[in-house]
Amino acid sequence: MSDTQKEKVRCLIIGSGPAGYTAAIYASRANLSPVLYEGIQPGGQLTTTTDVENFPGYPEGVTGMELMEDLKKQAARFGADIRVGIATKTDLSEAPYKVTIDGEKEIETEALIIATGATARYLGLPDEQKYAGMGVSACATCDGFFYRKKVVAVVGGGDTACEEALYLSGLAKKVYLIVRKPHLRASKVMQARVLGTENIEVLFEHETLGLFGENGVEGAYLVKFRGKHEEEQVSIAIDGFFLAIGHNPNAEVFKPWIETDEAGYIKTHAGTPRTNIPGVFAAGDVADPLYRQAITAAGSGCAAAIETERYLVEHGK
């Protein structure tokens, strides 16, 4: 590796969602000269949603794209060095920590903020792409409001799916919960709530084959009892199709060093962004299986930058 391919920095941030950019705003205002790599999806998951109406400070709402552009500009205004690139390898065995970008450039950093987010799981149907932003969503809290008094379907049988179905049941006229097994995986209390809600209909042993509609989702094709002798195809009329089959935290590249839980989320010390490695912090969805909101991600990005500043001062870096 040539010298031009090596660089030393004080604070490296990986990821450009609300957590990464907020960390960059705070770190640059604290004179840490942060370098931020945008990662796999510049702007993060919010760039795939349409209107964001629950981020404080935007009384009229804002598009996900605009919000991320604003955060990026705000970070750049204070001098954050924002670059395109993906972390492909890490060596966090000792400080300074080494992160390889795009397989070729090695950054040595005194402190690292991991804000790589999580990726919602999709079923893998071509129609999910076709109707992206036109009735297909992986976030009921973000998009549910647009389906007031309409009919929607949620896919999944875990706590998230139940939570999303319950949330949507307060807005929509009717909610179908499409569950591939004959039972729910969610906790008993969530199951009881879902089964006791009048406008939620659980379709056990149903799988989605595709979606249809002229200018957006108008319905879904399902298969009932797949592989059994009573297998049949059915269709339901819906206006919105919500995926709630889990998220994959983007923590793979840090895993040899960083402790994660069974689902792959980075473990942090209760109420802080501290990981098992001093000077390495995790913010946003990569460490949050519970809330996954732009505002909670931004808050933890702020905390990670404050922790970084304290760590660097304490260690004389």
Residues with a known catalytic role? 139, 142-143
Residue with tokens 């923590």: 251
The reply on whether position 245 binds ligand NDP by CB under 6 A is: yes
Alpha-carbon gap, residue 270 to 284, rounded angstroms: 14
164: left (phi over 0), alpha (psi -120 to 50) or beta: alpha
Question: Which C-beta is closer to ligand NDP: that of 75 or that of 138?
Answer: 138
CB of 292 to ligand NDP, least distance (A): 9
CB of 111 to ligand NDP, least distance (A): 29
H-run or E-run covering 142: helix 140-143
Question: Which C-beta is closer to ligand NDP: that of 79 or that of 158?
Answer: 158
Could you give the string, one character per residue 132-171, with x where binding to ligand NDP holds by CB under 6 A and - elsewhere?
-----------------------xxxxxxx-x--------
CB of 317 to ligand NDP, least distance (A): 36
Cα pseudo-dihedral 189, 118, 292, 95, rounded to 10:
110
Question: Which C-beta is closer to ligand NDP: that of 181 or that of 255?
Answer: 181
- Tokens representing 160 are 């998230």
Question: Which C-beta is closer to ligand NDP: that of 71 or that of 251?
Answer: 251
CA 180 to chain centre: 24
Alpha-carbon gap, residue 74 to 77, rounded angstroms: 5
Q: Helix, strand, or coil here: 197? A: coil
- Tokens representing 215 are 């200018």
Could you give the string, one character per residue 78-117, with x where binding to ligand NDP holds by CB under 6 A and - elsewhere?
----------------------------------------
The reply on whether position 287 binds ligand NDP by CB under 6 A is: no
The reply on whether position 180 binds ligand NDP by CB under 6 A is: yes
* Residue 185, CB-side half-sphere exposure with 13 Å CA sphere: 15
Q: Helix, strand, or coil here: 248? A: strand
The reply on whether position 181 binds ligand NDP by CB under 6 A is: yes
The reply on whether position 310 binds ligand NDP by CB under 6 A is: no
Task: Provide the binding-site residues for ligand NDP, judged by CB under 6 A.
Answer: 123, 155-161, 163, 180-181, 185, 245-246, 289
